């Protein structure tokens, strides 16, 4: 948590606008309360119009103009958009999709992470930009590339990927016998005679071996991290002392962000709550109720996830939705007040920066319907005044204090790959199990930190492990030493690191905490459920036996929740009523003060402040159980409003 007030910024593309406009743009940014500006991340064709010929003049002048206005520049490396001349010199640098089709030129992200000559080119252009601007006082930070994996690009099935995968397998398994044994390749005569004989897992007749898929997913993730690391090393060399950040996305698990973050100072993320609500698996009622606000847990979930990615907990919102976007099936405008609300919510969760995407709507090309803070004719769009209002609020509030530790929620990317590879029941996903548990904790008004397995649990009263099929070393010991209440969710401990059922069956290495044996699992079709007292179990059942107490037992005897000492086991999908009941008991036993919040209202405590956010389209009253005096807003909260209480 920084002692400085949160900053505001904006994403700007000087190359899109006449140079005569830059100074006025910069002055208006400052007048709007912005102090950071991100530039350059797609500008390769303007920086290096042909191989080896650099045109720095325009960027020199743009950076100078922004700096002169008082803005700190966050400079992007332009590697998400390799220009046409480069693609033409190495046509095999493009990624191939799962059907073997090349991802062609004409948009962005058309490169394969495993293509070694392209990686060299990415380092070359990074070094060129960093040599030019690495010591420039205007440049305060770097962004590597842009949204690794966006448009489904972290995974490539190219010849370069195949070659690199075989090397990766050799390094991991040593001998082909070991690989065959680890994957269980005796099944269906899948044994390989050598590493050179192993193919990628796409294009098999029916599903490929899940262990093969998991290895390929881990490899693909490692390729992203290695690609990023090569740029980070160049930046650290040529621009020491500046923060290096990458911008992550929403509900995106194609690579392990904990690994990526190990090389970064700051994790950024791109927050588009309305686009995410419309594009992802929210039910129709929520999509309607929150169409102009976003589901109340979408932004917060990612704030808490990405804050947990770096050891230091430093994170930014580097792209904040300022109005309608262009890329979802439906693109409504935010309710008046939401841009300010999203901004202050990021502050409440400890962001150092919120930067709006983008400054001015561009009247051409793919994103012409994507709002900016300005309209294409430079008149102010609604987001501009809300950014200004948020800047005033931030100044009035001063820095938020350190967040109160209440609940830790353990999430791993590996877990999500396992449930994607082998859902066993349609829609079963470790990511969405995590989101459901997170939402339940937030409905109780709790602060949640999302942490990787093995991170210290000191200071928390409750630890929730929503779904962790493979439990990495470190977590069991951490949980055994943890004094608080523990909740473990379905399928946890059900697989080894190599995607096999563990000896002694699930929950495997978690057995010291849960003396149970999962004898069999079931996934249930829609409509088939087991009714309990105020809850129901649906979608998934881990049937277990053992010494724990059956705590949530349906009328027909089906056990949906177990308890052993301070550990609870949710043996079914976290349906809202069931997870509310089970987590409610765990939070109560943990001594956490929970609240019954009106629909759409959420809280976040930081230092002496409690922030309340009304995501509902209706007015709402803060419950009496939440003490404090408003220093911003009022306890009776209008739609899309914020209230900040001081203890
Ligand atoms: C992000 C991306 C931006 C822009 C934006 C539009 O995914 O990083 O470049 O395309 O979406 O919402």
355 is a domain residue? no
Integer CA distances (angstroms), 266 to 245, 271, 317, in order: 5, 16, 10
423 is a domain residue? yes
**What is the mean pLDDT of the segment spanning 204-211?**
98
Query: What does the H/E/C string look like for 397-463?
Result: HCCCCCECCCEEEECCHHHHHHHHHCCCCCCCCHHHHHHHHHHHHHHCCCCEEEECCCCCCCCCCEE
Read off the pLDDT of residues 374-415 as tens digits, 9 standing for 90 and up: 999 999 999 999 999 999 999 999 998 899 999 999 999 999
Please indicate, yes or no, whether residues 521 and 607 belong to a single structural domain of this protein.
no
Cα 112 to ligand 1 centre (Å): 20
Cα 152 to ligand 1 centre (Å): 14
Cα dihedral value 333, 337, 343, 346, nearest 10: -100
Please indicate, yes or no, whether residues 529 and 630 belong to a single structural domain of this protein.
no
Q: Report the C-alpha gap between 474 and 76 in whole angstroms.
A: 36
- Establish whether residue 270 lines the binding site of ligand 1, counting it when its CB lies within 6 angstroms of any ligand atom: yes
* Residue of 327, 342, 359, 366 with the most ligand 1 atoms within 8 Å of its CB, for mutation: 327
User: Which pLDDT does position 213 carry in this prediction?
Assistant: 98
Catalytic residue list: 147, 319
**What is the mean pLDDT of the segment spanning 85-91?**
98
Read off the pLDDT of residues 330-348 as tens digits, 9 standing for 90 and up: 999 999 999 999 999 999 9
Which string of b and e fits 23-47 if b means at least 16 CB within 10 Å? Answer: eebbebbeebbbbbbbbbbbbbbbb
Q: Is the Cβ–Cβ distance between 251 and 276 less than 8 Å?
A: yes
Please state the atom number of ligand 1 nearest to the C-alpha of residue 146.
8
Q: Cis peptide before 45, with omega less than 30 degrees from 0?
A: no
Query: What does the H/E/C string look like for 124-178?
Result: HHHHHHHHHHCCCCCEEEEECCCCCCCCCCCCCCCHHHHHHHHHHHHHHHCCHHH
Q: Report the C-alpha gap between 463 and 443 in whole angstroms.
A: 16
Cα 3 to ligand 1 centre (Å): 30
Phi and psi angles of residue 395, each rounded to the nearest 5 degrees, phi first: -65, -40
Q: Report the C-alpha gap between 118 and 139 in whole angstroms.
A: 26
Cα 58 to ligand 1 centre (Å): 23
Q: Is the Cβ–Cβ distance between 369 and 326 less than 8 Å?
A: yes
Read off the pLDDT of residues 563-612 as tens digits, 9 standing for 90 and up: 999 999 999 999 999 999 999 999 999 999 999 999 999 999 999 999 99
Q: Is the Cβ–Cβ distance between 493 and 571 less than 8 Å?
A: no
Phi and psi angles of residue 544, each rounded to the nearest 5 degrees, phi first: -125, 160
Cα 562 to ligand 1 centre (Å): 44
Q: Is the Cβ–Cβ distance between 192 and 176 less than 8 Å?
A: yes
Residue 474 is part of which domain span?
407-589
Concatenating the DSSP letter of every residue in 73-112 gives EEEEP-TTS--HHHHHH-GGGS-B-TTS-B--SSSS----
Percent of the chain at pLDDT > 90 equals: 98
Please indicate, yes or no, whether residues 570 and 606 belong to a single structural domain of this protein.
no
* Residue of 252, 367, 371 with the most ligand 1 atoms within 8 Å of its CB, for mutation: 367
Task: Read off the pLDDT band of 473 (50, 70, 90).
Answer: confident
Cα 136 to ligand 1 centre (Å): 27
Q: Is the Cβ–Cβ distance between 142 and 132 less than 8 Å?
A: no
For atom 5 of ligand 1, which residue has the closest CA?
357
* Residue of 15, 150, 369 with the most ligand 1 atoms within 8 Å of its CB, for mutation: 150
Please state the atom number of ligand 1 nearest to the C-alpha of residue 321.
12
* Residue of 16, 44, 143, 147 with the most ligand 1 atoms within 8 Å of its CB, for mutation: 147
Q: Report the C-alpha gap between 548 and 180 in whole angstroms.
A: 37
Q: Which two tokens stand for residue 179?
A: 């690989």
Please state the atom number of ligand 1 nearest to the C-alpha of residue 247.
8
- Establish whether residue 147 lines the binding site of ligand 1, counting it when its CB lies within 6 angstroms of any ligand atom: yes
For atom 9 of ligand 1, which residue has the closest CA?
146
Cα 378 to ligand 1 centre (Å): 20
Please indicate, yes or no, whether residues 632 and 565 belong to a single structural domain of this protein.
no
543 is a domain residue? yes
Please state the atom number of ligand 1 nearest to the C-alpha of residue 272.
12
User: Which pLDDT does position 1 carry in this prediction?
Assistant: 43
585 is a domain residue? yes
Task: Read off the pLDDT band of 259 (50, 70, 90).
Answer: very high
- Establish whether residue 145 lines the binding site of ligand 1, counting it when its CB lies within 6 angstroms of any ligand atom: no
Please indicate, yes or no, whether residues 480 and 571 belong to a single structural domain of this protein.
yes
In this structure, the strands spanning 139-143 and 243-248 are: parallel
Please indicate, yes or no, whether residues 479 and 446 belong to a single structural domain of this protein.
yes
**Vertex 452, ends 609 and 264: CA angle to 5°?**
80
**pTM exceeds cut of 0.95:** yes
In this structure, the strands spanning 462-465 and 609-614 are: unpaired
440 is a domain residue? yes
CATH, residue 471: 3.40.50.880
- Establish whether residue 259 lines the binding site of ligand 1, counting it when its CB lies within 6 angstroms of any ligand atom: no
For atom 4 of ligand 1, which residue has the closest CA?
357
User: Which pLDDT does position 400 carry in this prediction?
Assistant: 87
Q: Report the C-alpha gap between 394 and 84 in whole angstroms.
A: 44
- Establish whether residue 357 lines the binding site of ligand 1, counting it when its CB lies within 6 angstroms of any ligand atom: yes
Q: Is the Cβ–Cβ distance between 266 and 351 less than 8 Å?
A: no
Concatenating the DSSP letter of every residue in 315-356 gives EEEEEE--S--SSSS--PPPPTTHHHHHHHHHHHTT-SEEEE
**What is the mean pLDDT of the segment spanning 555-563?**
98
Q: Which of 316, 319, 311 is nearest to 10 (CA)?
A: 319
Cα 358 to ligand 1 centre (Å): 9
Q: Report the C-alpha gap between 384 and 151 in whole angstroms.
A: 29
Q: Which helix (H) or strand (E) holds 387?
A: helix 382-397
Q: Report the C-alpha gap between 326 and 322 in whole angstroms.
A: 12
Phi and psi angles of residue 436, each rounded to the nearest 5 degrees, phi first: -60, -45
Read off the pLDDT of residues 419-437 as tens digits, 9 standing for 90 and up: 999 999 999 999 999 999 9
Q: Which helix (H) or strand (E) holds 536?
A: strand 536-538
Any residues with CB less than 8 A from the CB of 390 and at least 6 apart, and which?
A: 8, 33, 339, 340, 343, 344, 354
Please indicate, yes or no, whether residues 558 and 639 belong to a single structural domain of this protein.
no
Please indicate, yes or no, whether residues 427 and 500 belong to a single structural domain of this protein.
yes
Please indicate, yes or no, whether residues 477 and 508 belong to a single structural domain of this protein.
yes
Q: Report the C-alpha gap between 83 and 78 in whole angstroms.
A: 10
Please indicate, yes or no, whether residues 492 and 612 belong to a single structural domain of this protein.
no
Please indicate, yes or no, whether residues 420 and 515 belong to a single structural domain of this protein.
yes
579 is a domain residue? yes
CATH, residue 625: 2.60.40.1180
For atom 1 of ligand 1, which residue has the closest CA?
270
User: Which pLDDT does position 418 carry in this prediction?
Assistant: 98
- Establish whether residue 274 lines the binding site of ligand 1, counting it when its CB lies within 6 angstroms of any ligand atom: no
46 is a domain residue? no
Q: Is the Cβ–Cβ distance between 17 and 61 less than 8 Å?
A: no
For atom 10 of ligand 1, which residue has the closest CA?
367
Tell me the β-bridge partners of 562.
550, 569
* Residue of 247, 248, 270 with the most ligand 1 atoms within 8 Å of its CB, for mutation: 270
449 is a domain residue? yes
Number of domains the chain contains: 3
Residues constituting the chain: 647
Task: Read off the pLDDT band of 646 (50, 70, 90).
Answer: very high
Q: Which of 296, 306, 315, 293 is nearest to 452 (CA)?
A: 306
User: Which pLDDT does position 3 carry in this prediction?
Assistant: 73
Cα 171 to ligand 1 centre (Å): 36
Please indicate, yes or no, whether residues 526 and 497 belong to a single structural domain of this protein.
yes
Most distant CA atoms of the chain, gap in Å: 75
Cα 143 to ligand 1 centre (Å): 14
- Establish whether residue 325 lines the binding site of ligand 1, counting it when its CB lies within 6 angstroms of any ligand atom: yes
**What is the mean pLDDT of the segment spanning 280-307?**
98
- Establish whether residue 150 lines the binding site of ligand 1, counting it when its CB lies within 6 angstroms of any ligand atom: yes
Please state the atom number of ligand 1 nearest to the C-alpha of residue 326.
12
Tell me the β-bridge partners of 316.
268
Burial of 300 (0-12, 13-18, 19+ CB in 10 A): buried
Read off the pLDDT of residues 32-73 as tens digits, 9 standing for 90 and up: 999 999 999 999 999 999 999 999 999 999 999 999 999 999
Q: Report the C-alpha gap between 487 and 582 in whole angstroms.
A: 9
For atom 11 of ligand 1, which residue has the closest CA?
270
Q: Report the C-alpha gap between 401 and 395 in whole angstroms.
A: 14
- Establish whether residue 319 lines the binding site of ligand 1, counting it when its CB lies within 6 angstroms of any ligand atom: yes
Concatenating the DSSP letter of every residue in 480-512 gives HH--SEEEE-TTTT-S-TTS-PPTT-TTGGGTT
Q: Is the Cβ–Cβ distance between 87 and 136 less than 8 Å?
A: no
User: Which pLDDT does position 348 carry in this prediction?
Assistant: 98
Distance of CA 320 to the CA centre of its chain: 14
């Amino acid at each position: 948590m920084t002692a400085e007030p949160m900053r505001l910024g904006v994403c700007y593309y000087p190359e899109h606008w006449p140079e005569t406009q830059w100074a006025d743009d910069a002055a208006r940014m400052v007048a709007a309360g912005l102090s950071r500006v991100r530039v350059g991340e797609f500008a390769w064709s303007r920086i290096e119009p042909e191989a080896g010929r650099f045109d720095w003049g325009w960027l020199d002048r743009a950076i100078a103009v922004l700096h002169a206005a008082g803005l700190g520049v966050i400079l992007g490396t332009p590697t998400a958009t390799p220009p046409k001349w480069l693609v033409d010199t190495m046509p095999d640098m493009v990624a191939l999709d799962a059907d073997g089709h090349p991802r062609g030129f004409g948009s962005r992200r058309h490169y394969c992470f495993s293509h070694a000559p392209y990686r060299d080119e990415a380092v070359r252009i990074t070094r060129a930009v960093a040599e030019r601007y690495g010591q420039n006082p205007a440049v305060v930070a770097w962004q590597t590339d842009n949204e690794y994996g966006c448009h489904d690009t972290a995974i490539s099935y190219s010849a370069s990927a195949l070659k690199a995968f075989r090397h990766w397998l050799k390094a991991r398994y040593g001998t082909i016998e070991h690989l065959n044994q680890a994957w269980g390749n005796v099944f269906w005569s899948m044994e390989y005679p050598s590493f050179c004989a192993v193919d990628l897992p796409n294009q098999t007749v029916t599903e490929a071996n899940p262990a093969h898929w998991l290895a390929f997913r881990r490899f693909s993730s490692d390729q992203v991290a290695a690609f990023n690391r090569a740029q980070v090393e160049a930046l650290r060399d040529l621009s020491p002392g500046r923060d290096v950040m990458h911008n992550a996305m929403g509900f995106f698990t194609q690579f392990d962000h904990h690994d990526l973050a190990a090389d970064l100072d700051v994790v950024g993320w791109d927050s588009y709550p309305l686009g995410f609500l419309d594009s992802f698996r929210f039910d129709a009622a929520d999509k309607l109720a929150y169409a102009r606000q976003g589901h109340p847990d979408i932004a917060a979930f990612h704030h808490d996830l990405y804050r947990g990615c770096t050891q230091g907990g430093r994170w930014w919102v580097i792209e904040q939705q300022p109005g309608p976007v262009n890329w979802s099936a439906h693109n409504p405008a935010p309710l008046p007040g939401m841009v300010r609300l999203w901004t202050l919510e990021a502050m409440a969760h400890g962001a150092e920066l919120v930067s709006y995407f983008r400054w001015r709507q561009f009247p051409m090309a793919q994103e012409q319907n994507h709002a900016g803070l300005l309209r294409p004719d430079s008149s102010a769009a609604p987001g501009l005044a809300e950014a200004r209002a948020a800047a005033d609020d931030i100044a009035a509030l001063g820095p938020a204090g350190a967040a109160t530790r209440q609940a830790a929620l353990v999430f791993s990317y590996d877990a999500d790959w396992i449930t994607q590879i082998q859902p066993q029941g349609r829609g079963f996903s470790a990511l969405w199990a995590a989101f459901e548990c997170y939402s339940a904790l937030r409905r109780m008004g709790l602060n949640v930190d999302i942490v990787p397995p093995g991170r210290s649990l000191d200071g928390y009263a409750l630890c929730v492990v929503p779904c962790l099929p493979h439990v990495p070393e470190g977590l069991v010991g951490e949980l055994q030493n943890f004094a608080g209440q523990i909740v473990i969710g379905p399928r946890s401990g059900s697989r080894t690191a190599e995607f096999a059922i563990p000896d002694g069956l699930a929950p495997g290495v978690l057995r010291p905490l849960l003396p149970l044996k999962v004898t069999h699992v079931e996934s249930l079709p829609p409509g088939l459920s087991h009714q309990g007292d105020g809850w129901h179990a649906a979608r998934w059942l881990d049937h277990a036996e053992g010494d724990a107490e059956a705590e949530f037992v349906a009328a027909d005897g089906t056990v949906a929740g177990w308890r052993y000492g301070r550990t609870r086991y949710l043996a079914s999908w976290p349906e809202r009523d069931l997870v509310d009941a089970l987590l409610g008991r765990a939070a109560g036993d943990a001594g956490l003060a929970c609240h019954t919040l009106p629909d759409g209202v959420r809280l976040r405590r930081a230092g002496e402040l409690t922030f309340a956010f009304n995501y509902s389209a209706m007015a709402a009253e803060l419950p009496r159980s939440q003490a404090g005096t408003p220093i911003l807003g009022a306890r009776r909260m209008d739609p899309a409003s914020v209230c900040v209480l001081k203890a």
